[in-house]
């Protein structure tokens, strides 16, 4: 077959090759799913079905929840799932959740509404949930805490990003730096920026795969002890973020954040290459009314949920005992 025809054929599956990426819930109805807020989400539940929901929020935006899975495993006699309902959620357009061709749906407002709807689905009586968010997921948890403090029994923020646009501006003005350096002339980034309108599921397949490959080298200064796994990234979500369509020009999750009176656990690593590590978390700690910061020695940004997940599980367990959740 001529080379010029080989790639389209592979994408179309005409050689009976395996798929480029794992199927979504729309393609594989056997996958566990939840339908809320006009979309279909891949949601894996473990632990006690009648327990308090502990919802894990992945980073990105655009990452799936697989790399948070170690937080649900027993560790040194501690098992969060022994009494809680553990919920691993692939956010809109990420992981194995439904893909959306309309990128106007891939915005902060929509993701906030998705989380609102998921909490309502998991906790229809309003008894309360626990949120555990990493990186961008920590920002999403802070957003929910800011808007619905009465629904939150506990919050664990794992190297969260900034709680407002102003916090990051103040951090940089104070001499704080970001280790995330992106070559805006890179071929992969230009391919994302100038790619055509998504038309078919195979376009999402190819976009997700290309961004997964490219993302491995995007943040070379973020050092981690182990590489965490990924099922499938949300290429369209990542593209929306890079092109400035995901966040509004300014955002602020702190307008009522200090109204939440209960303890909030913040976990951070202390490697000098982590731009969201201990130093940054100390910088934004005062925006929480009752924070506890725990620093894991030698942990990188993703280590706090993967390589050092056991430590985070113990810290979370002790925190939830203090809150009376366990």
218-250: pLDDT as tens digits: 555 566 888 899 999 999 999 888 888 999 999
Structure tokens at 27: 């393609």
pLDDT at 102: 86
Higher pLDDT, 119 or 224: 119
18 pLDDT tier (thresholds 50, 70, 90)? low
Contact 65, 43 (CB under 8 A): no
pLDDT at 15: 45
pLDDT digits (tens, 9 = 90+) for 131-182: 999 999 999 999 999 999 999 999 999 999 999 999 999 999 998 876 555 5
pLDDT of 17 > 70? The answer is: no
Query: Average pLDDT in the 103-114 region?
Result: 95
pLDDT at 34: 98
pLDDT digits (tens, 9 = 90+) for 25-75: 999 999 999 999 999 999 999 999 999 999 999 999 999 999 999 999 999
8 pLDDT tier (thresholds 50, 70, 90)? very low
Peptide bond preceding 137: is omega within 30 degrees of 0, i.e. cis? no
Indicate the average pLDDT of the chain: 88
Query: Average pLDDT in the 252-265 region?
Result: 96
pLDDT at 182: 55
pLDDT at 9: 43
Burial 287-311 (b: 16+ CB within 10 A, else e): bbeebeebbbeebbbbbbbbbbbeb
Q: CA–CA separation, 216 vs 161, rounded Å?
A: 20
Taking residue 119's Cβ as centre, other Cβ atoms within 10 Å add up to 22
pLDDT of 292 > 50? The answer is: yes
pLDDT digits (tens, 9 = 90+) for 174-215: 988 765 555 555 665 665 555 555 556 568 888 888 788 776
What residue ranges define each of the domains in the chain, with the CATH number in brackets?
A: 20-322 (3.40.50.1820)
Q: CA–CA separation, 135 vs 274, rounded Å?
A: 11
pLDDT of 4 > 90? The answer is: no
Q: Kindly give the interhelix angle for 201-215 and 187-194, rounded to the nearest 10 degrees.
A: 150
Higher pLDDT, 112 or 6: 112
pLDDT of 3 > 50? The answer is: no
pLDDT at 201: 57
Q: How many residues does the chain have?
A: 326
20 pLDDT tier (thresholds 50, 70, 90)? confident
pLDDT at 215: 67
Which own/partner pairs from 317-324 qualify as long-range (CB within 8 Å, at least 24 positions apart)? 317/78, 317/80, 319/154, 319/156, 319/263, 319/265, 319/292, 320/80, 320/84, 320/130, 320/154, 322/263, 323/153, 323/154, 323/262, 323/263
Contact 107, 245 (CB under 8 A): yes
């Amino acid at each position: 077959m001529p080379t010029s025809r080989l790639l389209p054929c592979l994408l179309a599956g005409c050689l009976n090759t395996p798929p480029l990426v794992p199927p979504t819930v729309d393609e594989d109805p056997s996958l566990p799913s939840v339908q809320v807020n006009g979309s279909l989400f891949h949601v894996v539940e473990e632990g006690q079905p009648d327990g308090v929901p502990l919802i894990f929020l992945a980073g990105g935006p655009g990452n799936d929840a697989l790399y948070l899975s170690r937080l649900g495993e027993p560790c040194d006699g501690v098992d969060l799932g022994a009494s809680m309902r553990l919920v691993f959620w692939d956010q809109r357009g990420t992981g194995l959740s439904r893909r959306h061709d309309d990128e106007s749906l891939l915005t902060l407002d929509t993701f906030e509404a998705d989380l609102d709807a998921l909490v309502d689905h998991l906790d229809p009586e309003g008894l309360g949930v626990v949120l555990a968010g990493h990186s961008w997921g920590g920002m999403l948890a802070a957003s929910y805490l800011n808007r619905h403090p009465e629904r939150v029994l506990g919050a664990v923020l794992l190297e969260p990003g900034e709680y407002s646009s102003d916090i990051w501006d103040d951090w940089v003005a104070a001499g704080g730096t970001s280790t995330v350096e992106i070559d805006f002339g890179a071929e992969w980034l230009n391919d994302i920026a100038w790619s055509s309108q998504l038309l078919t599921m195979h376009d999402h397949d190819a976009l997700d795969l290309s961004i997964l490959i490219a993302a491995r080298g995007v943040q070379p200064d973020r050092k981690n002890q182990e590489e965490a796994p990924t099922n499938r990234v949300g290429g369209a979500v990542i593209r929306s973020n890079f092109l400035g369509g995901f966040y509004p020009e300014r955002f602020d999750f702190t307008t009522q954040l200090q109204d939440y009176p209960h303890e909030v656990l913040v976990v951070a690593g202390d490697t000098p290459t982590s731009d969201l590590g201990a130093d940054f978390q100390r910088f934004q700690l005062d925006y929480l009314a009752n924070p506890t910061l725990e620093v894991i020695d030698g942990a990188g940004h993703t280590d706090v949920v993967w390589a050092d997940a056991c430590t985070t599980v113990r810290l979370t367990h002790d925190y939830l005992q203090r809150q009376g959740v366990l």
